[in-house]
Chain A
Amino acid sequence: MRLNEQSAREALPAGPDRLAAVLFGKSMRAILALLFGRPDRRFYTREIARAAGITPSSLQRDLAALAGAGVLTRTEDGRQVYYQANPACPVFDELRGLAVKTFGVADVLRRLLARHASRVRLALVYGSVAKGAADAASDVDVLWVGDLRPSELVLQLAAAERRLARKISVIAYSTEEFADRLANDHHFLTTILKGPVIWLIGNREAFDEFVLSKTRKPRTRKAAQRRAARKGRGRAPAGER
């Protein structure tokens, strides 16, 4: 009986951050997050350690194992040893996807926004990083909806940029403006939402719900117009759009 309860609890879908913790240890996550977030670049050990906020010595074992398995390439340049994500690794694309969606970009940004969760209704990553088409110069494009002002997060964003070795670009909407732009089929937003996105706060269902709750207003107004038209039919039968 107890066993059943437990297995039922375990069967619940885990959040993306928990998924990563289950699959990889802390230093492994840090290495993969940085190196597969920037597969175009090579990093030396201290650089990885600094970005991850852990000591270089605790990275050594995982780095050696990953290089030994061909997940990373190891090159020596003078006295410096560099590691880089290995595009020839048979699971390169899968690891890059995992790194970006779970413990890499998405995780760093989720943690950052989680502290302000009550003031952010929706948050997502769009653009090249979400598409998996990011190159060396690509920013992480973030959009959020709510009362959180971008200037409140600059220090944390700067830390996240160091951690990810990528610049982060933010576009912030208030709930009202976002709803208004959506209602008017704002080109920028409709393009983003058609393409692949990584949800940081909320998800596709929450978004659809949000859209429904916001589009209900004009509907009731129309209904009110119809009702008014029905009432006044005797006087003005035609001319109703």
Chain B
Amino acid sequence: MLAYNAAHALALAALRAAGYRPSSAGHRKMIFQVLAETTDAPAALWLALDKYHDRRNAAEYEGAPPATAAEAEDLVKLAGDLDRLVRKRIGQPRRDGRARR
């Protein structure tokens, strides 16, 4: 849960740094899905975070068990990867209309 929150905060920071903000509360899933744009997250990273978002919801709302130790460990690693990407991106000048790739 802690690792999930860290990943979420990082993804949100990336979104804000890219000049966007969530239009209202409850855009948790979207925040992970736009990571390829707001950071240079490879598909494997943002898809994994997106999966863990669904996993979090299943545990929170649908009676699935809380994250296992193995999953928590996995997610901590993913959050670390995201942290590096976000720091890298925030250090760079903001993108203007023409996206540089």
Residues on A facing B (Cβ under 8 Å): 149-151, 154-155, 157-158, 167, 169-174, 177, 186, 188
Contact = CB atoms under 8 A, between A and B. Distances in A.
Between A150, A173, A186, the greatest number of chain B beta carbons within 10 A of the residue's beta carbon is seen for A150
Interface stretch (B10-18, B20-28, B44-52, B85-93): B44-52
A154 B65 contact: no
Nearest to A145: B70
B84 interface: no
A141 B24 CA distance: 31
Contact of B51 (A154, A174, A188): A154
A173 B67 CA distance: 9
Contact of A174 (B43, B52, B68): B68
Contacts, number: 53
Interface of B: 43-44, 47-48, 51-52, 54-55, 58, 64-65, 68-71, 73-75, 77-78
5 closest pairs, A vs B, by CB?
Answer: A151-B48, A154-B47, A149-B74, A188-B65, A174-B70
A150 B44 contact: no
A169 B70 contact: no
A155 B71 contact: no
A171 B77 CA distance: 17
B47 A150 contact: no
Between B58, B70, B75, the greatest number of chain A beta carbons within 10 A of the residue's beta carbon is seen for B70
Contacts of B54: 167, 169
Contacts of A151: 44, 48, 51, 74-75, 77-78
Given A150-B48, A172-B71, A177-B70, A155 B65 contact: no
Given A150-B74, A169-B58, A155 B68 contact: no
Contact of A150 (B43, B65, B69, B71): B71
Contacts of A174: 68-70
B81 to A, nearest CB: 9
Given A169-B54, A169-B55, A169-B58, A154 B48 contact: yes
B71 A158 contact: no
B44 A172 contact: no
B64 to A, nearest CB: 7
Between A151, A158, A170, the greatest number of chain B beta carbons within 10 A of the residue's beta carbon is seen for A151
